[in-house]
Amino acid sequence: MKIASPQALRGANASALTEQLVTFVVDGQAFGISALTVRDVLRRQPLTRIPLARAEIAGAINLRGHIVSAIDLRARLGMAPRPANCPAMCVVVEHAGESVCLIVDSVGDVISVDCAEIEPNPASLQPMWAQAAKGVHRARDHLLLLLDVGQLLTF
Amino acid sequence: MDDLIQEFVIESLENLAVLDQELVRFEQTPGDKEILSNIFRMMHTIKGTCGFLGLPRLEKIAHAGEDVLGKFRDGALAPTPASVTSILKCIDQIRALIESLSTQGTEGTGEDGPLIAELKAIIEDDRPAAPAAPTSVSAPAPAAGPVQAAGGFPVAAELLAELGETPAASAPQPVQDYPVAAELLAEIEQLTKPQAEAPAAQVPQAIAAKGEPAAGQAVREKAAVAQTIRVNVEVIENLMTLASEMVLTRNQLLQLMRTGGTAVFKEPIERLSRTTSELQEGVMKTRMQPIGNAWGKLPRIIRDLATELGKKINLVMKGEETDLDRQVLELIQDPLTHMVRNSADHGLERPDERAAAGKDEVGTIRLSAFHEGGHIIIEISDDGRGINTEKVRAKIVERGLATAEEAAAMDDSTVNQHIMRAGFSTADQVTKVSGRGVGMDVVRSNIEKIGGTLEFKSVFGEGSTFTIKIPLTLAIVSSLIVQAGEERFALPQIAVNEVVRISQRSAHQIEALRGAPILRLRNRLLPLVSLGDLLEVKDTQTSWRPGQNSFEGYVVVCRNGSHVMGVIVDSIAGVEEIVVKPLSKILGATKYFSGNTILGDGRVILILDLNGLASCLSQEKVRAEAAVEQASEDSGNSESILLFRVQGEGMKAVSLSQVQRIENFDMATAESVQGDRIIQYRERLLPLYSLDGAGGIRRTGRQQVLVFGEGAAAVGLAIEAIADIVKDQLKIQRSSQLPGLVGSGIVGGKAVDIVDPAYFLGLGALNQSSDYGAAA
């Protein structure tokens, strides 16, 4: 899936006061991140382990000649380790001038959310998630947690 | 206007760099008119442009400098070291102002009065002595007053100078004395012409004076310059990155081809491959710069140093045109400068010392650069006093880096390595220039940082030579791809000395000293690092573990500075040219990796950082050393046993705990006292014995000696070679009648004779002469 140029999206975003979200699922929980930050969505890539790096860092992948570090969201969000047979997808996001790959279980649709419909984090949200999330969107049959890429990549 | 100023800044800084060099050359060959007219022209251009751009401070200084240079050129003034120093000062000031202009956009504020006065004083002082001066002064005499009184008026000063210059230039005398080139005369005429035409119009005059020679210069330089353009460094860097990417993609394609690509692609891919290589080479060339650019400052530095230190120094540079990568060039500039300063300060003697030593009073520092197999070699040599290795040895002992015996046994090159250690200085006095001992280690680490090596050779009394070997470029590195478990890592090849195969049948085996792996290689104990262990590689059935005897793999012997170490790997996957890419910031501090890259098969691979590996090694080494000490204290059944050979048959063994030291003596220094062979050791006499009789103690060459006992009671047992250190039980199976042996036993599966140190200690204590050796 290719995303239109960020400028075009930003323009549309500002006028309609909606936010485009790329949705994905990690360990049964649905998440969304701003489509503006997403550069690429890929199938599972061969990973090179980075020895002695922090646990969240799954390794590095070759993204069309660029070396991109991969963060395992299961580890980052304190969820159960990925079972061997569980599929994985890569969501490549842009952060601080660098590309970073987020490893998720599966990627869903790009949805448009009215900014007014995004609710603040519930007080009961566990701290690890509360830090990385910037709000909750209530989809028809499930809750979507909006992740903040900057926070997600700050260890 | 901004563009103009920017152009001016770039151009002027380049011109000033050349000016520095040319002035030093001029001082050495004062008769060379070509150099002088070159210098004059550049200064003139700067002055003229400043006037045009409205930069009064710069213009005033440049003008004062130009005046003096004009006098030199006309022969009205003979250059002296003092006056050249003033001109150099003037250039420094101009440079400072131009730099301020480029960073802050203004000339800044400051007082140039003293400098201008100094320059003017040169002219004033020499005027009476100058032959052409009296005639020239007569015409503009009225103008002389106002200038001196009001030095702050640039235009008036300029007028005077131009006027003063004209008669001097056209006077017949200097022309006869110095055959002035026709070109020079023409330029002087150009200079004087507008003045005659418009003596009153001051501003146009300044522009005209500037414009015409500048145009002339432009024509002259056009032929040489027309083929070059200025390109922003960023553009080139970007091109370089793209070309590197292309190389990687090409490698990937070639790999695909090899593993069963369709035949139709073969030809185009090969063509693409060739073109890519050429493209990459071409882009690399754009980054290449002659090393002379890094040397540009040196003549000036040497000149200033020579003046300051009262030495006579001749700097000879060879191979300035040798190209190397811009990035490398920048990184070696400071180390080079430091080393040349070192040579001038420490290396070369004062003229009187040189004369006393029968050398030419003028010391020579020689700089040369050349290519050699993908590397660039830079040599810095001087014909000075060289390194007094005895002094360094004394310093080594004084600083507790080695014992007197060890220091005496070191060869000169090992001793010289010490001068590159932190805080090590043999200078008797700390001077302003150097001698604080914080130099060579920084130089060496900077050179090593870019994958280079630094070697030092010196002959006492004859001079020293530093040899720097650096890669041509940092962008592409030839690397050994090593494997631990299923993971691969790249090891830069420049650091790799050799690869040793380890298997059960191979001659080399990994041994462990209390868990720390060690490899004995050509009489050297090599500390090892297990890559699999260190990097916590999973699935390392094949990787080495302490206590594992059936290990099959390789030890990559690497050099990191003066340390040699081995890296244990499972296998070697090959050698590949890799493009180094920096590690992602998100990974944080990674001690063991210097970067990463993509291999031909598209996999990401990490590049090992030898400095990091070496730092972990120092811990391992400490562990190993501690292990040896601990082993001797071990009270358990098994102990460390030293196995060694003598001339006679069979392996000999002794408990390591009974051996105080293992020394390597120069046997030529051993003496005979009362029939005993003795050697001076730690200010005592150490009697030497042997299991082979008197013949077992060598008369020449070096020999290993086991030292039993301490202090006055110590005795030495000369042996042929140390065979091994093993952990085992020292159990006597058969007692012995032979003196010096307690009996025989089995150590490490082999029958050995067990030596009795007490016997030799007894011989020493009783001061029994002669006779163990003769009797046995």
* Cβ atoms of B562 and B417 closer than 8 Å: yes
B762: tokens are 């007894």
Q: Which of A57, A69, A90, A151 to mutate to test the interface with B (most CBs of B within 10 A)?
A: A69
The encoded tokens of residue B243 equal 């070309």
B590 touches chain A (CB under 8 A): yes
**Main-chain dihedrals φ then ψ at residue B503, nearest 5 degrees:** -150, 175
From CA B678, how far away is CA B687, in angstroms rounded?
Answer: 4
B508, B474 contact by CB (below 8 A):
no
Neighbours of B726 (CB within 10 A): 19
Q: How many CB atoms lie within 10 A of CB A154?
A: 12
Contacting residues for B398 by C-beta, under 8 A, at least 6 apart:
none
Q: In this structure, are B414 and B517 located in the same domain?
A: no
Q: Smallest Cβ distance to A49: which of B249, B487, B592?
A: B487
Helix, strand or coil, per DSSP, at residue B625: helix
The identity of residue B721, as a single letter, is A
Does B586 contact A at CB distance below 8 Å?
Answer: yes
What are the residues whose beta carbons fall under 8 Å from the beta carbon of B335, sequence distance 6 or more? B442, B443, B446, B447, B468
Find out whether B599 and B616 touch, Cβ atoms under 8 Å.
Answer: no
CA B50 and chain centroid, separation: 40
> Are residues B198 and B147 part of one domain?
yes
Query: Going by C-beta distance under 8 Å and a sequence separation of 6 or more, which residues neighbour residue B96?
Result: none
Q: Single out the residue of B568, B564, B578, B570 nearest to residue B492, CA to CA.
A: B578
- From CA B336, how far away is CA B440, in angstroms rounded? 11
What is the domain-level CATH number for residue B649? 2.40.50.180
Residue B634: inside a domain:
no
Per-residue model confidence (pLDDT) at position B285: 81
Q: How high is the pLDDT of residue A103?
A: 93
Condensed to tens digits (0 to 9), the pLDDT of residues A90-143 reads: 999 998 888 999 999 999 989 888 888 888 888 888 888 888 888 888 887 888
**Whether residue B401 sits in one domain with residue B321:** yes
Burial of B434 (0-12, 13-18, 19+ CB in 10 A): buried
Q: How far apart are CA B454 and CA B466, in angstroms?
A: 7
CA distance A12 to chain B (A): 31
Q: Which residues contact B718 (CB under 8 A, 6 or more apart)?
A: B688, B689, B690, B696, B697, B698, B703, B704, B705
Residue B189 inside a domain? The answer is yes
Q: Is B87 helix (H, G, I), strand (E, B) or coil?
A: helix
Contact B97, B90 (CB under 8 A): no
Amino acid at B151: G
pTM of the model: 0.51
Average pLDDT over all residues of chain A: 84
Examine the domain organization and report whether B645 and B614 are in the same domain: no
CA distance A150 to chain B (A): 12
Rounded CA-CA distance B247/A76 in Å is 35
Tell me how far apart the alpha carbons of residues A132 and A119 are, in angstroms, rounded to a whole number.
15
Tell me: pLDDT of A2 over 60. Answer: no
Q: How far apart are CA A152 and CA A129, in angstroms?
A: 9
- Burial string for B161-172 (b: 16+ CB within 10 Å, else e) reads bbbbbbbbbbbe
ipTM at complex level: 0.83
End-to-end CA distance of chain B, in Å?
99
B584 closest CB neighbour out of A46, A54, A98: A98
Q: What CATH number should be reported for the domain holding residue B200?
A: 1.20.120.160
Residues 6 or more apart whose Cβ sits within 8 Å of residue A37: A93, A94, A95, A149
CATH number of the domain within which B261 lies: 1.10.287
Residues of B whose CB is below 8 A from A57: 586-587
Residue B470 CA to its chain's centroid (Å): 9
At residue B562, the pLDDT reads 60
pLDDT at A15 over 60: no
Q: In chain B, which residues have pLDDT < 50?
A: 1, 127-182, 192-225, 429-438, 628-636, 768-776
Query: Strands B288-290 and B516-521: what pairing?
Result: unpaired
Residue A68 pLDDT: 92
Q: Are B617 and B666 in contact (CB under 8 A)?
A: no
- Residue B182 CB neighbour total at 10 angstroms: 8
Q: Say if residue B338 is in the same domain as residue B308.
A: yes
Would you say B326 and B288 are in contact if contact means Cβ atoms under 8 Å apart? yes
Same structural domain, B174 and B30? yes
Q: Are residues B615 and B684 in the same domain?
A: no
Locate all alpha helices (DSSP H) within B476-609, ordered by sequence: 531-534
Q: List strands edge to edge, sheet with B571-579.
A: B571-579, B476-484, B487-492, B604-608, B593-598
Judge whether B91 is closer than 8 Å to chain A, CB to CB.
no
Query: Which pLDDT value is given to residue B624?
Result: 52
CA distances from B678 to B665, B687, B693, B707 (A): 11, 4, 14, 12
Tell me the longest C-alpha to C-alpha distance in chain A. Answer: 46
pLDDT digits (tens, 9 = 90+) for B295-318: 888 888 888 888 888 888 888 889
C-alpha span between A110 and B31 (Å, rounded): 80
Pairs of residues, one from chain A and one from chain B, whose beta carbons lie less than 8 Å apart: 63
Question: Domain boundary residue among B178, B204, B225?
Answer: B225
Q: Are B559 and B497 in contact (CB under 8 A)?
A: yes
CB A23 within 8 A of CB A105: no
Q: Do A46 and B602 touch (CB under 8 A)?
A: yes
Work out the percent of chain A whose per-residue pLDDT is above 70: 90
Contact residues for B279 (Cβ-Cβ < 8 A; gap 6+): B243, B246
- A155 touching B (Cβ < 8 Å): yes
CA distances from B234 to A93, B14, B238, B287, B330 (A): 26, 20, 6, 11, 15
Q: How many angstroms separate the CA atoms of B362 and B315, rounded?
A: 10
Question: Per the domain annotation, does B85 fall within a domain?
Answer: yes
Q: Using a CB-CB distance cutoff of 8 angstroms, which residues of chain A are in contact with residue B598?
A: 62, 65, 67
Strand pairing report for B684-690 and B715-719: parallel
CA–CA min distance A149, chain B (Å): 13
Cβ contact B178:B132 at 8 Å: no
Structure tokens at B770: 């002669």
What range defines the domain where residue B72 resides?
Answer: 2-225
Single out the residue of B37, B92, B114 nearest to residue B70, CA to CA: B37
Structure tokens at B638: 């098994």
* CATH code for the part of the protein at A6-152: 2.40.50.180
Q: B571 and B483, same structural domain?
A: yes
pLDDT of residue B177: 44
* B276 and B297, same domain (yes or no): no
Does the beta-carbon distance from A67 to B598 stay under 8 Å? Answer: yes
Shared-domain flag, residues B608 and B747: no
The ranges assigned to domains in chain A are 6-152
**Residues contacting B690, CB < 8 A, separation 6+:** B646, B696, B697, B717, B718, B719, B773
Same domain, B215 and B277: no
Residue A70 confidence (pLDDT) above 80: yes
The verdict on B347 and B395 lying in the same domain is: yes
What is the DSSP track for B294-356?
HHTTHHHHHHHHHHHHT--EEEEEE-TT-EEEHHHHHHHHHHHHHHHHHIIIIISPPHHHHHH
Residue of B nearest to A61 (CA): B604
How far apart CA B532 and CA B547 sit, in angstroms, is 15
pLDDT at B539: 67
B124: how many CB neighbours lie within 10 A of its CB?
A: 11
